[in-house]
Amino acid sequence: MALLPAAASAFQPLVTDDTGTQGAGANQIEAAYNRTVDRVSGTREVTQAAPLVFTRGVTDALDLHAGAGYQRIAAAAPAAEERGWSNTAVGAKFRFYKDEVRKLSFALKPEVRFPVSKDKEARRLGTARNSYGAGFLLTQETDFGAVHANLAAERVSYADDALNAAERRVLYRLSVAPVWDVAQDWKLALDAGLVTNPDRSATARMGYVELGAIHSPGKDLFLAVGMVRKLMDGSPHTTQTTVGLSWRFR
């Protein structure tokens, strides 16, 4: 199970997003590589995803974004390998409240994911019906850096009725991520949350924890790396590593 979506716009490398926007007329390109390893009963499956997201600042408080991701899924047997483009997505982030004195801000982030073909759905590369979600985002700036928190929900729809019956279709996430400014160009982060397990045969609630680092070699360039571990769900045991690049420009 991939903990980071194949196409998303977030505060790389974290699962939890912040309320920051690009500003009117500004742009951002995000590229990442996610490698997820699922281990169960002595076997493992490796999913590699390469998402690409473009974000445009419409106003100082409103961003629009569009993204797509390429995936490769490899089980123990080479014949089981699948690869191809996953769902594309479009969305927005609207920061509706910002208190400069208290350094507190809130934002809403809706997103729609468009379907892939039924063949790709059968190959586990995406969902063949529209899916949609929304998140409520909070950022509190602090003396050490910032704390970000999210409450998000997503409705997932499949064309295959068997998948609709086997998977939980409404997924929730409650997460928090403190980020420390440890040097002029470096940030360290801890991201933890409770999420819905999509597998109906397993416990509904599970969690994750992530350690991440962000380096800014220039004021408009950001390099990120993170490691995510799934918790409290039993088998399979899932670990994900992610590396990302963000470039802002006008």
Q: Is the pLDDT of residue 238 over 80?
A: yes
What is the token pair recorded at 107?
Answer: 């934002």
Task: Please report where in the chains the tokens 């980071």 appear, as a residue.
Answer: 4
Q: What is the pLDDT of residue 3?
A: 57
Q: For the residues of 74-102, what is the DSSP string, one character each?
A: E-SSGGG-EEEE---EEEEEEEEEEETTT
pLDDT value at position 216? 96
Q: Please count the CA atoms within 13 angstroms of the CA of 170 that sit on its side-chain side.
A: 1
State pLDDT tens for residues 14-64. Answer: 999 999 999 999 999 999 999 999 887 778 889 999 999 999 999 999 999
- Residue 190, domain extent: 27-249
pLDDT at residue 42 in the model: 76
**Is 3 part of a structural domain of the chain?**
no
Residue 108 falls inside a structural domain: yes
Is the pLDDT score of 75 beyond 90? no
The answer to whether residue 5 sits within a structural domain is no
| DSSP summary character for residue 220 | T
Tokens standing for residue 30: 């995000």
For the ranges 27-31, 71-75, 77-81, 165-169, the lowest mean pLDDT is seen at 77-81
H-helix or E-strand containing 40? strand 27-40
Q: What is the pTM of this model?
A: 0.93
**Quick one: which of 185, 238, 250 has its CA closest to 214?**
185
Per-residue pLDDT band for 144 (boundaries 50, 70, 90) equals: very high
Asked if residue 244 belongs to a domain, the reply is yes
In a domain, 156, yes or no: yes
CATH number at residue 207: 2.40.160.40
Contact (Cβ atoms closer than 8 angstroms) between residue 189 and residue 211: yes
